[in-house]
Structure 1
Amino acid sequence: MIRITAILAVLLTTTGAFAQSGLQAQYAAFLENTIWPAARSADVSRATFDRAMSGKTLNTKIPGLVTPGSSGTPRKMGQAEFSAPANYFNESNLGSVAATGRSLARKHASTLAAVERRYGVPGRIVLAIWGRESGFGRVNIPHDAFEVLGTKAFMSTRPELFQAELVAALQMVERGMATPGTMRSSWAGALGQPQFLPSSYLKHAVDFDGDGRADIWNSVPDTLASIAAYLKTFGWQSGRDWGFEVTVPEMISCSMEGPDRGMKIAHWADLGIKRVSGKPFPADERGREGFLLMPAGRSGPAFIVTPNFYVLKEYNESDLYALFVGHAGDRIQWGDSRFSGGWKRTDPLLRSDIAAMQRVLESRGYDVGGADGLPGFKTRRSIGEWQLSNGRAPSCFPSSSLVSAIR
């Protein structure tokens, strides 16, 4: 019996090695037959391609990978917005960003003022993004960008995106903007202190310190200005806030949220929505459009947000990310005032569970924004609409019981 077990172990190890070897061979062919022609068409030289990609192997430890040629929703949820939104606002993290941001606001006051004059983005917002993305440049960025981008171009659920990003990274090297050795990235392939994907670097990185190079790895002025330039490009409205925490009467359905269901802020106020601070909405905001945001449905705080909130989502498509940045920025400038509405416990769900529920809702005519397993605003309000039509009080957030009920 022991001998048979040992033989099976050897066979399994050998089979695994052969499978891994075969995958690496497919990857090498992919780089040569798919990425190199695309890079050549983007004016990348063969010397640059070889310099960056020579010897690169797959990193199969990167999250969210799938077998090449397949599709599907990864089952694991590694981020709080997929399961427990409250975890995203852990006070040790949020409080640290706010406290450090206040200190750096004083240290870099003149640079932040110059950045705001040029791009119209408040320093507190730029600082909050800097803190969230790279711990104000203090977080170690551990990965070889070309290894990560190559792996994700070959094995992610969004291969076309990462194929384009890999080519953009090669263009950076070709143009002398960086060297392969200095291009360290996150596991998602994001670069430098602002955590730009390569295409964002090419479009938005700024040489603000005047040394002739947009250095988002080592230059604080370049980092801050690049973040602001990115937000301006996507429509940041100078002089407007990002949003206000509010109370929402029970008679107003949580299914009214979303950037496509905006109304004048004065009209939201007429419906009974009030700021939690007790102050009226600013006079210059009342006649402008605002949008209801309930990122955890009735299980968390609510907000009336401005178009600037959705500009923050251009940096990261998560509602919670944009909310973190806006809230942290407020605390950097005005002190540690926490959310008034608490985050209730929500059920831990797999993305595949939510995706299955989304597919059922889609089949019944609801617009959930795609069956991607993420509870975005279209999914949240579709849940609320389904609950209303089935005689339930709308919660507008997925739960274990809802996943079971919506079949």
Structure 2
Amino acid sequence: MLALAFLVVALIGFFTAPSRAAPIDDQFQAWLQTDFWPEARSKGISKKTFDAAFLGVKPNLKLPDLVTPGETPTTPEKQHQAEFGPPASYFAEKIVRAVTTGGRTRESANARVLGLIEKRYGVPGEIVLAIWGRETGFGGAKMPYDAFEVLGTKAFMSTKKDFFRTEVLAALDIVERGLAPVNAMKSSWAGALGQPQFMPTSFLKHAVDFDGDGRPDIWNSTPDVLASIANYLVHYGWVRGRGWGTEVTVPANVSCSLEGPDQGKKISDWVAMGIRRVDGKAFPASELKAEGFLLMPAGRSGPAFVVTPNFYVLKEYNTSDLYALFIGHAADRIAKGDAIFNASWGAVGDLHRSDIAALQHALEAKGYDVGSADGLPGFKTRRSIGVWQAKNGKPATCFPDANLVAAIK
């Protein structure tokens, strides 16, 4: 009788237990065939290309920013990308020097090609070299991921599904057009391709055939790689004949909250406010009438700069002030020799991304425009911090720290 009772309980449990969701791999395959394939077919992708691209592909659950189907996304506690750590770490001398030393070597080896590129696109060779060096170590970095695994996973279950859906369709288009075979489509963890680290849509828009072999090859052709980077920058508005910016000193009476691409002034106006180049030289007369922007990526705890619109073109390559500054700084060192920033980076940063997001939400609740409460201390967050500090009788630092997070919350 006891055994019979256990059997009855087990049977009741079997019939009343909720059905479990299908394994992620099965959900992914169902999504590919019933959701994604019809759209790919409507975009001109053949079944042969589609099947070859996704042969054996399973979702890679180790990729960042994924959301399990049915769950709600949350702000990650930690962010391991260098752009979100202490600013000083981003400019570690061994990292900068690797790009500048390698850039000078390759500047000599590719002088003719770089000259032709600068003539056609107006982008200095050292800028192109700095991006090439930063992105993949001048092509030396290995791309360990299958692009269709990365892009497919993210289109299926990332926090930016629509963005990656567009990218994986573009990746399929690259193969369909015969611009690259499936087995060449290796990428970074973000799905970026080749030596310039182009997303697939950027490849289709900006990759150029500069060596004249009939197709743009950002995997193996140095001329194509360099020209494609320059073409990308031109597309986003690179101004021929202007640099990216210069380090300056900012007097204490000039608020750090004046930074940002929407608060530009004539460079002569910045000079009238007491801002000076750290090298002691005057701004060229041709620049004084042009627009410049204040940049203080670590607030008062680091170097300050007056930058040109070209700085913000560099940000189109990677939406980080530190990245664009790295490229400009490295380019200067390739062209003029190694020289560190005049001002030092203070001991700031290294907060969890969730801490900064909490700070941003608190500022938003008080009516400040932080751009987006994404956990990243962009210029709108920095200057909002400065304004809040000034209104509350505190010295304006324009950069988040642990004490500030607690005070504003």
SS of 1:388 mapped into structure 2: helix
CA gap 1:114/1:389 in 2 versus in 1, 3 angstroms: same
Counterpart position of 1:74: 76
Read off the aligned partner of 1:165 and give its amino acid letter: E
Structure 1 residue 177, shift from structure 2 partner? 0.7
Read off the aligned partner of 2:301 and give its amino acid letter: S
For residues 347 and 44 of structure 2, the distance between their equivalents in structure 1, rounded to whole angstroms, comes to: 52
Counterpart position of 1:176: 178
For residues 39 and 118 of structure 1, the distance between their equivalents in structure 2, rounded to whole angstroms, comes to: 36
Structure 1 residue 21, shift from structure 2 partner? 6.3
Deviations 1:318-356 (A, max 9, x none): 000000000000000000011001011114211111111
- Sequence identity percentage: 62
Matched, 1:209 2:211: yes
SS of 1:354 mapped into structure 2: helix
SS of 1:315 mapped into structure 2: coil
* TM-score, normalisation: structure 2: 0.93
For residues 185 and 42 of structure 1, the distance between their equivalents in structure 2, rounded to whole angstroms, comes to: 23
For residues 391 and 350 of structure 1, the distance between their equivalents in structure 2, rounded to whole angstroms, comes to: 27
For residues 217 and 367 of structure 1, the distance between their equivalents in structure 2, rounded to whole angstroms, comes to: 41
Pairs within 5 Å for 1:150-299: 150-299=152-301
Counterpart position of 2:7: none
Counterpart position of 2:34: 33
Structure 1 residue 63, shift from structure 2 partner? 2.3
For residues 254 and 21 of structure 2, the distance between their equivalents in structure 1, rounded to whole angstroms, comes to: 55
Pairs within 5 Å for 1:7-406: 22-69=23-70, 70-406=72-408
Contact 1:125/1:326 (8 A) holds in 2: yes
Contact 1:243/1:304 (8 A) holds in 2: yes
Stretch moving more, 304-313 or 31-40: 31-40
Counterpart position of 1:3: none
Stretches of structure 1 that go unaligned for 5 or more consecutive residues are: 1-17
Contact 1:234/1:314 (8 A) holds in 2: yes
Root-mean-square deviation (CA, aligned residues, Å) is 1.4
Read off the aligned partner of 1:314 and give its amino acid letter: E
CA gap 1:149/1:338 in 2 versus in 1, 3 angstroms: same
Contact 2:238/2:313 (8 A) holds in 1: yes
Contact 2:244/2:308 (8 A) holds in 1: yes
SS of 2:294 mapped into structure 1: strand
SS of 2:314 mapped into structure 1: helix
For residues 60 and 20 of structure 2, the distance between their equivalents in structure 1, rounded to whole angstroms, comes to: 15
Larger radius of gyration: 2
Deviations 1:202-224 (A, max 9, x none): 00000000000100000000000
Contact 1:88/1:320 (8 A) holds in 2: yes
Read off the aligned partner of 1:37 and give its amino acid letter: P
Structure 1 residue 200, shift from structure 2 partner? 0.2
Read off the aligned partner of 1:84 and give its amino acid letter: P
For residues 301 and 69 of structure 2, the distance between their equivalents in structure 1, rounded to whole angstroms, comes to: 38
Deviations 1:90-121 (A, max 9, x none): 10010111011011101000000000111110
Read off the aligned partner of 1:362 and give its amino acid letter: E
Stretch moving more, 262-271 or 154-163: 154-163
For residues 264 and 323 of structure 1, the distance between their equivalents in structure 2, rounded to whole angstroms, comes to: 21
Stretches of structure 2 that go unaligned for 5 or more consecutive residues are: 1-18
Structure 1 residue 30, shift from structure 2 partner? 2.0
Structure 1 residue 19, shift from structure 2 partner? 8.2
Count, aligned residues: 390
For residues 104 and 78 of structure 2, the distance between their equivalents in structure 1, rounded to whole angstroms, comes to: 36
Structure 1 residue 81, shift from structure 2 partner? 2.6
Stretch moving more, 338-347 or 263-272: 338-347
Stretch moving more, 43-52 or 122-131: 43-52
